[in-house]
Structure 1
Amino acid sequence: MESNGTRNHPADCDVTVQLSDCGRQDAQTVFDTLDRVFAGCDVPASGPEQPHLHEPTVWMATFDSSARSGGELPAPPRLTTPVTAVLTGDHHAVAEVEKALDGLFEVRSASSIPGEHEKEARLVLAPR
């Protein structure tokens, strides 16, 4: 197994989470919540609020699915709008993150595209 150079864990435990159709606040809510469940490998800094309406169209972070916090899941966070999430990684790693998201948010729709070595899952997350 290959290792991520910045952390000492197997690279096949990494899941990339891409969020779209949402603003900075909702993206940060999802990432902060996942960071309490899994070790965030590459969580974007919140940065200053933009005084204009130009926001990124996709927010992205990477989580180590093997590094669960071991505690209870945090309380379901509040979202202002449904958020589209695309999870990419090893089949088992994506399943772990999907399971965590399903316990935190209402998953309104889901589809997955299995590949030979990785899986892509598309979810729409809404507040419970």
Structure 2
Amino acid sequence: MTLPSLPVSQVEVVLCDCSAQDAERVFACLRAHFESDRRPDDPPHETGTDRPTMWTGMYDTSAVPADAEDRPEAPSESVTVEVQGSPPAVRLLRAALEEEYTVHQVGVDAGDQEVQLQLRVEGRQGRGR
């Protein structure tokens, strides 16, 4: 089975291994740079179960938001960020994360048309936020 490809400028983002508050901080960072299906008035929330929680969002790297948010706070703990999209769109999204946070690449699965990255994102030391 072949899954449909994302439009060339869109990146799917999945956050896990973090609190809802830290997920919202990462989503806020990305919303400050790109249009998204994640609205500020609908933040991630805990489900109350013992199962791991994952949060997803779609970001259009070709569209800058008209009402860019203030710079986000850093997450309190490291966050696993999985991104999937075209190589240029994934590069733009990663660069946006690197402007605010320390980013470590954990894994990569690259093809001609699409790339999947697994990143660990954490706040920078000495940055008063």
Interval containing the TM-score (normalised by the shorter chain)? 0.7 to 0.9
TM (norm. structure 1) is 0.77
1:27 is paired with a residue of what secondary structure? helix
Amino acid at match of 2:43: S
Aligned length: 117
Q: Which has the higher helix share?
A: 1
Structure 2: where are the runs of 5+ without partners?
1-5, 125-129
Percent identity over the alignment?
A: 28
Q: Which has the higher strand share?
A: 1
1:38 to 30, 34, 40: 34
1:28 to 15, 19, 24: 24
Whether the 8 Å CA contact 2:24–2:44 is kept in 1: the answer is no
Aligned CA distance change for structure 1 residues 72 and 61 (closer, same or farther; 3 Å): closer
Whether the 8 Å CA contact 2:17–2:52 is kept in 1: the answer is no
Structure 1: where are the runs of 5+ without partners?
1-9
Task: Report the aligned-residue RMSD.
Answer: 2.7
TM (norm. structure 2) is 0.76
CA distance in structure 2 between the partners assigned to 1:43 and 1:119 by the alignment: 22
Amino acid at match of 2:38: V
* Deviation by residue 1:23-58 (Cα, 9 ceiling, x = unmatched): 110101111111011111x216226665x4557521
